[in-house]
Structure 1
Amino acid sequence: MKPIRFLSPMHNSMSQRRRLLGAALGAGVGATSALSLFPLAVSYAQSTPASLNSDAKLIRIGYQKSAVNLVILKQQGALEKRFPDSKISWIEFPAGPQLLEALSVGSLEFGLTGDSPPVFAQAAGKDLFYVGTEPPKPESSAIIVLKDSPIRSLSDLKGKKIALQKGSSAHFLLVQAVKKSGLKWNDIQPIYLTPADARAAFERKSLDAWVIWDPFYAAIELTVPVRVVSTGAGLTNNNSLYLASRNLVENHPTTIRALFEELTQADQLVQKNREQAVRLISSFSGLSPEVIGLFLKRRQISPVGLLDPQTIADQQAVADAFFELQLIPKKINVADIVWSGHPI
């Protein structure tokens, strides 16, 4: 199979239509409305084999507590209604690396992670594809210390034990923080722990700092005296990315577009009915409405769509940074596994 490219190399007129459609979806226009804007693209879609226009019969979705839109869909039973002839399974993961491992071995069809897990997965030769994205949310992750810690600035991290989930978005945040402070990666002591284990160690004072994302960040911020050394602002866009299996991309592109529509509706619920969104997420996670409210406050609201050139560039910057530090074994080209929105 040829490498996937962001823009399909069709003849000029068709290529232009695809670019317009992809741009519309990437800008947040839902699949149905985007197709109505470009009738010739509809003709193209209708000319594809019937198998590519059928919904997947099995849709196993990987999610984390931070996956707001997916959690809302799960709690509403929205996908079960949208895909009545499909079996929908929901599988929770503590972080993105574990989720993508499951996706790459065929245990999932679809999932959401932060910016770093896909980079590690691609560098390891995992078989998966970027298919969609949410807006940046740099304020939703942070480097925190206990209130009485002597650490006041990023440069104070030198020699300190810092907890993080390896291969997660927190990993890239720490990489950027170390770089901005003028330190080198070997100037710090990264301690690789899952969020649950990291919190326990952090509260025991076995660690000097913790790099973490919402809702874990909001949960400890509201229950334990902590101080924020830095959020992701100015360091990383903290993008959230939807990834899919080869089978879903190759054989069921209409399922992915339908998922985008449902995810966008969930996103709109957060904006228009915050109280209901808080209730749905709180009932799932067991976290207090106050924690969920703070978590949601730090999110930007926007439709879910294809990766745009800026998001791809952001991901390439993540990949290049990890390669420069020899944290991944080889240099990768992110665009090679970005789905353009068309049959492949």
Structure 2
Amino acid sequence: MRRHSLPLSLLASLVPLSLALTACGGSSAADTGSAAAGQDGAKVTLSVGDQKGGSESLLRAAGELDGLDYGIKWSTFTSGPPLLEAVNAKAVDIGGVGNTPPVFAAGAKSKIAVVAASHGSSAGEAVLVPKGSALQSPAELRGKKIAVAQGSSAHFQLLTALAQAGLKPTDVTISFLQPADALAAFNSGAVDAWAVWDPYTSQVLRSGARVLTSGEGAVNGLGFQVAAPAALEDPAKSKAIGDYLTRLRRAQDWVYEHPQEWAKVWAKETGLPYEVAFDAVKRSNGTRVAVAVDDAAVASEQKIADTFTDLKLIPGKVAFKDFVDTRFNGTLPPSTTAPRSYAKDS
């Protein structure tokens, strides 16, 4: 097996981000915004779950935290699952996650409600092979060892890629590793391929790694805002959530229109090299468009749920539609709306 390693300067920048995105738990950050009086004179404050370089950074960079008539208490989590555990526990009113954590939360019968969606390019979801690898197609993965984070969007993308190549999960050796450990295994040659997402994809490609297959046409590219049902039942908080979602949509528009400016902010927040951050913005992060949580989105998520149920990673049948609240769909375009894209030379 061919071995390779990343330059030490790039590896040093990868490790802090890997740790940040894979550790468990969450911690509170500083409150943001002013508090507004509720119907009974109480102060309205949204508790928002976030990830490093996520919604708070995005809203602040786009100027969307100005003029709030409610408070926001930010709590930073390092991945989607613990964030949704906090939503279930009513410790967080709303937070953003990828397409797979809500499926597992639904499988656990958590008290969650998917209230908003965005659709982005799946080019950053990729099965990567090291520089110099002889592998040229997913069909050649038979008998090979592949690293992936269990229950992640990359896990589903890997299963889909294998199926499209006529392979079953048992035809390969899947090594369940979180990104920090997967990166080390990938660099040392302990695995033949790595299924992962941006910005890791952009980071490793800068080292000379290669995309064997991407998630384009294989995974749905959806991300979700997930709220606590108790918060939605509170009229004042529900109104604040509606405003918060509107601001997020405008902020995402700002990212698309200002990719370089956002890449600088994102790099500073996460410790990414600017070039990697800019690659990831153009490849996937900046391509997102707000869409409705509609029947097509539910059906796509149901497919993910059924896949993991069949693998016995989720106990029993999940009815994903039971965990969706469409009150904020408004006139948003359908979830199948194509993601935005950047000119090749931008």
What TM-score bracket applies, with the shorter chain setting the length?
0.7 to 0.9
Aligned to 1:327: 313
CA contact 1:143–1:210 (8 Å) conserved in 2? yes
CA distance in 1, matches of 2:167, 2:268: 42
Structure 1 position 152, deviation (Å): 2.0
Per residue, is there more helix in 1 or in 2? Answer: 1
Task: Decide which of 102, 109, 114 is 1:125's aligned counterpart.
Answer: 109
Structure 1 position 78, deviation (Å): 3.9
Q: In structure 2, what residue type is equivalent to 1:63? A: Q
CA contact 1:96–1:168 (8 Å) conserved in 2? no
Aligned to 1:291: 276
CA contact 1:97–1:167 (8 Å) conserved in 2? no
Q: In structure 2, what residue type is equivalent to 1:160? A: K
Deviations 1:249-305 (A, max 9, x none): 222221221111111121121122222212211111111221111111123645535
Structure 1 position 339, deviation (Å): 0.7
Q: In structure 2, what residue type is equivalent to 1:199? A: L
Residue 59 in 1 paired to residue 47 in 2? yes
Structure 1 position 74, deviation (Å): 4.8
Aligned to 2:13: none
| TM-score scaled by length of structure 2 | 0.76
CA distance in 2, matches of 1:336, 1:142: 30
Q: Taking structure 1 as reference, are residues 74 and 331 closer, same or farther at Cα in structure 2, changes over 3 Å only?
A: farther
Deviations 1:6-34 (A, max 9, x none): xxxxxxxxxxxxxxxxxxxxxxxxxxxxx
Task: Decide which of 48, 57, 61 is 1:71's aligned counterpart.
Answer: 57
Give the stretch that moved more between structures: 161-170 or 244-253. Answer: 244-253
User: Relative contact order: is structure 1 or structure 2 higher (C-alpha 8 Å, sep ≥ 6)?
Assistant: 1
Secondary structure at 1:304 match in 2: strand
Residue 247 in 1 paired to residue 222 in 2? no
Aligned to 1:261: 246
Deviations 1:74-94 (A, max 9, x none): 556744x4446424213031x
Q: Taking structure 1 as reference, are residues 207 and 336 closer, same or farther at Cα in structure 2, changes over 3 Å only?
A: same
Residue 151 in 1 paired to residue 151 in 2? no
Q: In structure 2, what residue type is equivalent to 1:239? A: L
Aligned to 1:138: 122
Aligned length: 288
**Aligned pairs for 1:102-251 within 5 A:** 102-222=86-206, 224-251=207-234
Residue 89 in 1 paired to residue 74 in 2? yes
Task: Decide which of 228, 243, 257 is 1:272's aligned counterpart.
Answer: 257
Aligned to 1:100: 84
CA contact 1:253–1:341 (8 Å) conserved in 2? no
Aligned to 1:316: 302
Uncovered stretches (5+) of structure 1, i.e. residues with no partner = 1-49
Structure 1 position 335, deviation (Å): 0.8
Structure 1 position 167, deviation (Å): 1.4
CA distance in 2, matches of 1:64, 1:169: 18
CA contact 2:232–2:238 (8 Å) conserved in 1? yes
Aligned to 1:25: none
Q: Taking structure 1 as reference, are residues 268 and 124 closer, same or farther at Cα in structure 2, changes over 3 Å only?
A: same
CA distance in 2, matches of 1:320, 1:225: 36
Secondary structure at 2:109 match in 1: coil
Q: In structure 2, what residue type is equivalent to 1:276? A: E
Deviations 1:101-136 (A, max 9, x none): 333233322222221111111111222111111113
CA distance in 2, matches of 1:189, 1:324: 18
Aligned to 1:28: none
Structure 1 position 309, deviation (Å): 2.1
CA distance in 2, matches of 1:312, 1:172: 16
Secondary structure at 2:307 match in 1: helix
CA contact 1:134–1:241 (8 Å) conserved in 2? yes
Q: In structure 2, what residue type is equivalent to 1:190? A: I
CA distance in 2, matches of 1:275, 1:255: 30
CA contact 2:145–2:172 (8 Å) conserved in 1? yes
State the identity as a percent.
Answer: 30
Q: Taking structure 1 as reference, are residues 84 and 225 closer, same or farther at Cα in structure 2, changes over 3 Å only?
A: same
Per residue, is there more strand in 1 or in 2? Answer: 2
CA contact 2:64–2:251 (8 Å) conserved in 1? no
CA contact 1:146–1:226 (8 Å) conserved in 2? yes
